[in-house]
Amino acid sequence: MASLSFPVINMELLEGSKGPETKAVLRDACENWGFFELLNHGISEELMNQVETVNKEHYRRFREHRFKEFAAKTLNSGDISPAENLDWESTFYLRHLPASNLSQIPDLDDHCRATMKKFAGELQKLAEKLLDLLCEDLALPRGYLKNVFCGGSDGLPTFGTKVSNYPPCPKPELIKGLRAHTDAGGIILLFQDDKVSGLQLLKNGEWIDVPPMRHSIVVNIGDQLEVITNGRYKSVMHRVVAQTDGNRMSIASFYNPGSDAVICPAPELVEREAAAATAAEENKKESYPKFVFQDYMNLYVRQKFEAKEPRFEAMKSSQLIPTA
């Protein structure tokens, strides 16, 4: 059953009489949208308000003038072609796991560092809870997905947060806030501006707005979950359209496999599908590669704004680890 509107999941309804209905929305979201929006996710409004305040303040004090210089240079350079290697965004990246870089980011005060550390801890818990909900949906043992993500030598996932601002842009038809891409990693949790929209996902050839909702967390599926689920879940193209009015802030946290974790379709899913499929269906089914996560990332940094399928193909042809 296809959802008619953007999938919203009220996590408080997962247990109780509305549980089956809510889980059906989650399944449809993972299989057909690659995105969903969470309400009552357990992260307090107070903490989210604090995160918003400290980051808006940080942008205003330390980053806005630098962006304005970039903007003036870009706009004055004359003809900006839409294909240009440019995004209308100001970003910085916080790494939490395997080792935090919070203390090394310049211009963050102690309050900001403490707020982001607390927020990251809450997001990590939420990401791991979601992975278990997905295990339940996939009829995989509880902990399976987390264990794959933590399957590298240090037993940890890679977890980080990208703080972005998309300032108003006089020429949104020429420059995207962020060009279309799928996310490389596992599961992505996004705290997006509730006033300035701009995030869109591609569904059936059409760009659909991800609706801003105060205190919600937007979740999307990355390429690794598509591989592990053998294509049952989909990582979906999305982009940020720059707005002529208003500054959009977004805080995206990426819960990804450890860099030397080995990623491949879950054998249990492959076997189950093979047992249920006819020979013709089996022949038609696309296959997914097996690889070390860092090798995928090395390719992704060069091909982020391209379709994912050639990346999967390239990983297959460079497959060093036998599938069997």
Residues 176 and 57: their CA atoms lie apart, in Å, by 24
- In the complex, minimum distance from the CB of residue 188 to ligand AKG, in angstroms, rounded to a whole number: 7
Sign of CA dihedral 133, 139, 261, 295: negative
- Cis preceding-peptide flag for 172 (omega within 30 of 0): no
Q: Which of 62, 116, 119 is nearest to 91 (CA)?
A: 62
Choose from Fe ion, ligand AKG, none: what does 216 bind? Cβ within 5-8 Å by kind: none
- In the complex, minimum distance from the CB of residue 8 to Fe ion, in angstroms, rounded to a whole number: 19
Choose from Fe ion, ligand AKG, none: what does 162 bind? Cβ within 5-8 Å by kind: ligand AKG
**Per rule CB under 5 A, is residue 89 in the interface with Fe ion?**
no
Q: Is 176 exposed, middle or buried (0-12, 13-18, 19+ CB in 10 A)?
A: buried
With contact defined as beta carbons under 8 Å apart, do 230 and 128 qualify? no
- In the complex, minimum distance from the CB of residue 80 to ligand AKG, in angstroms, rounded to a whole number: 21
Distant-in-sequence, close-in-space partners of 270: CB < 8 Å, separation ≥ 6: 230
- Among the candidate windows 181-189, 199-207, 275-283, 305-313, which touches Fe ion by CB under 5 A? 181-189
Taking the least distance from each CB to ligand AKG, the nearer of 230 and 308 is: 308
- In the complex, minimum distance from the CB of residue 180 to ligand AKG, in angstroms, rounded to a whole number: 9
Chain contacts with ligand AKG (rule: CB under 6 A)? 162, 164, 178, 183, 190, 192, 199, 238, 240, 250, 252
Residue 265, token pair as written in the block? 């379709």
- In the complex, minimum distance from the CB of residue 243 to ligand AKG, in angstroms, rounded to a whole number: 12
The interface mask with Fe ion, positions 134-173, x = CB under 5 A, is: ----------------------------------------
Residues 298 and 50: their CA atoms lie apart, in Å, by 35
With contact defined as beta carbons under 8 Å apart, do 166 and 89 qualify? yes
Taking the least distance from each CB to Fe ion, the nearer of 14 and 208 is: 208
SS3 108: coil
- In the complex, minimum distance from the CB of residue 24 to ligand AKG, in angstroms, rounded to a whole number: 26
- In the complex, minimum distance from the CB of residue 183 to ligand AKG, in angstroms, rounded to a whole number: 5
With contact defined as beta carbons under 8 Å apart, do 228 and 266 qualify? yes
What residue is closest to Fe ion based on CB? Answer: 183
What residue is closest to ligand AKG based on CB? Answer: 250
Taking the least distance from each CB to ligand AKG, the nearer of 51 and 266 is: 51
Taking the least distance from each CB to Fe ion, the nearer of 144 and 254 is: 254
- In the complex, minimum distance from the CB of residue 199 to Fe ion, in angstroms, rounded to a whole number: 9
Taking the least distance from each CB to ligand AKG, the nearer of 250 and 256 is: 250
Number of residues that bind Fe ion (CB under 5 A): 1
**Per rule CB under 5 A, is residue 183 in the interface with Fe ion?**
yes
Choose from ligand AKG, Fe ion, none: what does 251 bind? Cβ within 5-8 Å by kind: none
Taking the least distance from each CB to ligand AKG, the nearer of 51 and 252 is: 252
Taking the least distance from each CB to Fe ion, the nearer of 129 and 304 is: 304
Q: Which of 160, 135, 136 is nearest to 148 (CA)?
A: 135
Q: Count CA within 13 A, CB hemisphere, residue 278.
A: 2
Q: Which of 201, 301, 185 is nearest to 254 (CA)?
A: 185
Taking the least distance from each CB to ligand AKG, the nearer of 48 and 252 is: 252
Distant-in-sequence, close-in-space partners of 72: CB < 8 Å, separation ≥ 6: none
Query: For residue 217, what are the CA distances in angstroms to 41, 109, 126, 207?
Result: 8, 25, 10, 20
Binding site for Fe ion (CB under 5 A): 183
